[in-house]
Structure 1
Amino acid sequence: MKATKALQDKVALITGGSSGIGLATAKRFVDEGAFVFLTGRREPELLAAANELGPSAIAIRTDSSLISDVEKILARIRETKGKLDILFANAGIGEFLPLGVITEEHFDKIFSTNVKGIVFLVQKALPLMPSGSSIVLNASIASIKGMPAFSIYSASKAALRSFARSWTTDLRRQQIRVNAVSPGVISTPGYDGLGLSKQEMETFLKTNAETIPLGRVGTPDEVAKAVVFLSSDESSYISGIELFVDGGLAQI
């Protein structure tokens, strides 16, 4: 057992925490001494995640694209803990749709969750966040890589990178740090929403692995370790950055 835990007595919120990167991060947070609030849309998976994490976690079923749900989350945190030290804005969705057939529904669906929901989540969380708190936004290498049929998702993630820069300056007096973590190709249940068949997904992961300098796709826990770093005092003089966790894919 560690003598000192990196997130001892911290209160954290992880959106999209029922599986994948969110759940892996929640496990790391709890191991490091934090109390974690998890949100997600799928109640069975969310409750299973909270049960796995034990007494140091509370699950709240919410749609993070709805401001009313965001307010419900924060009211629960205020009533239960009275503060929020770490906010990992992880919830996000993506779908393939090429230019020429992009619909208004497709655009609104992705931007409502990936952009609007995060703006108002962060803004409404600020009164609960003391000086020294940390905000981590889950962006993506898609924001800087040209990926076919992925332009709306990529643009939504580019917005998060911009938020990390702008909000770092907005929050300088409060001494709240804002950073972005940008995963590369990560084997996660989140890919299930891309609309690919099992065979197509296997081909997608294999093809991408061949282009990654480390020769493989990443794991949710490898991203989680980076989020713990950005959330802890180990990164106390780091703000406004984009930390790539991509096996080198976006760096070459």
Structure 2
Amino acid sequence: MSARAALITGGTSGIGKATAEVLHSRGYQVAVTGQRPESVTRAREELPEGVLVLQADAGSLVDTDEVVSEVRERFGTLTTLFLNAGVSRPVTLDACDEATFDEVFTVNTKGQFFTLVKTLPLLSDGASIIVTVGIGATRGLTGNSLTAGSRGALLTMIPTLALELAPRRIRINAVSPGYTDTPMLRATPGMGSDQIAAMLAATAMKNPFGRLGRPEDIAETVAFLASDGAAYVTGQEIVVSGGAGLAV
């Protein structure tokens, strides 16, 4: 396919931003979305010239309609959709409330699902869809039930979606990062900077590779799934974790 174009939700920082940089360097037209004004402003300053940066709430279907309209006007069609936007709200069962539940599932599940629904008419035959899930969806972590459930819901949809999209040769796959050093991780609610630094250091020591993931690690995997090199790969989950979670 020529004239490659990608939309990345949650693309103004961390994994999404790194992916935007990688795809742009490989000749893609790229659009990214982000919710926080400061993140959007920084992305407009730091991302390569030509990357379209849009402010949008990933949980708002009205905002999604506006993003789709803008992308249609700028690019016409999409060859890659990276559903990466998400929130993490660590909370144990006894402390969870309805508002937190609704927020997490609205952004992580409903928002990403309907972004796919609304962008489907823009996706060219043979396009690639990549969904960020995370290893927490299939591995236990205290306080992670909401985030894991909201991401895991998408993971369970992927085999069925792969079959539905196969007649158009549109591929859909999941990428599941392990602990990755991103601004979201460094802004973990309820933890000070010293606590976060200690947590990251301890996590890195436990990893078989002795380090945390980097946004670029995930971006390269997404770029592969978007490429013709993965033209026969669909309905799969690729874990990018440096071996985290393999030990018994």
TM-score using structure 2 length: 0.95
2:78 is matched with: 84
Deviation at residue 77 of structure 1 after TM alignment: 0.9
Q: Distance in 1 between matches of 2:104 and 2:188?
A: 12
5+ unaligned residues in a row in structure 2: which ranges? none
SS of residue matched to 1:114: helix
Match of 2:213 among 218, 221, 224: 218
Instruction: Map 1:3-14 to 2 at 5 A.
Output: 9-14=3-8
SS of residue matched to 1:54: coil
Task: Determine if contact 2:188/2:196 at 8 Å carries over to the other structure.
Answer: no
Task: Determine if contact 1:186/1:219 at 8 Å carries over to the other structure.
Answer: yes
Provide Cα deviations, 1:149-192, integer angstroms capped at 9, x if missing partner. 11111111211211222210111112110000000010100124
Task: Determine if contact 2:36/2:55 at 8 Å carries over to the other structure.
Answer: yes
2:197 is matched with: 202
Match of 1:241 among 228, 236, 241: 236
SS of residue matched to 1:12: strand
2:30 is matched with: 36
5+ unaligned residues in a row in structure 1: which ranges? 1-6
Deviation at residue 193 of structure 1 after TM alignment: 4.2
**What number of residue pairs does the alignment pair up?**
246
Matched, 1:54 2:48: yes
Deviation at residue 219 of structure 1 after TM alignment: 0.5
Q: Distance in 2 between matches of 1:135 and 1:111?
A: 20
Deviation at residue 55 of structure 1 after TM alignment: 3.3
Instruction: Map 1:103-252 to 2 at 5 A.
Output: 103-195=97-189, 196-252=191-247
- Relative distance call for 1:50 and 1:8 in structure 2 (3 A) is farther
Task: Determine if contact 2:11/2:33 at 8 Å carries over to the other structure.
Answer: yes
The one-letter amino acid paired with 2:157 is F
The one-letter amino acid paired with 2:48 is G
C-alpha RMSD of matched pairs (Å): 1.4
The one-letter amino acid paired with 2:213 is G
The one-letter amino acid paired with 1:106 is T
4+ long deviations beyond 6 Å: none
Task: Determine if contact 1:12/1:37 at 8 Å carries over to the other structure.
Answer: yes
The one-letter amino acid paired with 1:232 is S
Q: Distance in 2 between matches of 1:104 and 1:89?
A: 25
Q: Distance in 1 between matches of 2:18 and 2:31?
A: 14
SS of residue matched to 1:38: strand
Deviation at residue 211 of structure 1 after TM alignment: 2.1
SS of residue matched to 2:130: strand
1:4 is matched with: none
| Higher mean displacement: 35-44 or 49-58 | 49-58
1:3 is matched with: none
Q: Distance in 1 between matches of 2:246 and 2:155?
A: 16
| Higher mean displacement: 130-139 or 205-214 | 205-214
Deviation at residue 8 of structure 1 after TM alignment: 6.1
Identical pairs, percent = 34
Deviation at residue 197 of structure 1 after TM alignment: 1.2
Match of 2:14 among 12, 16, 20: 20
Deviation at residue 43 of structure 1 after TM alignment: 2.5
Task: Determine if contact 2:125/2:168 at 8 Å carries over to the other structure.
Answer: yes
- Relative distance call for 1:54 and 1:215 in structure 2 (3 A) is closer
Q: Distance in 1 between matches of 2:61 and 2:187?
A: 23
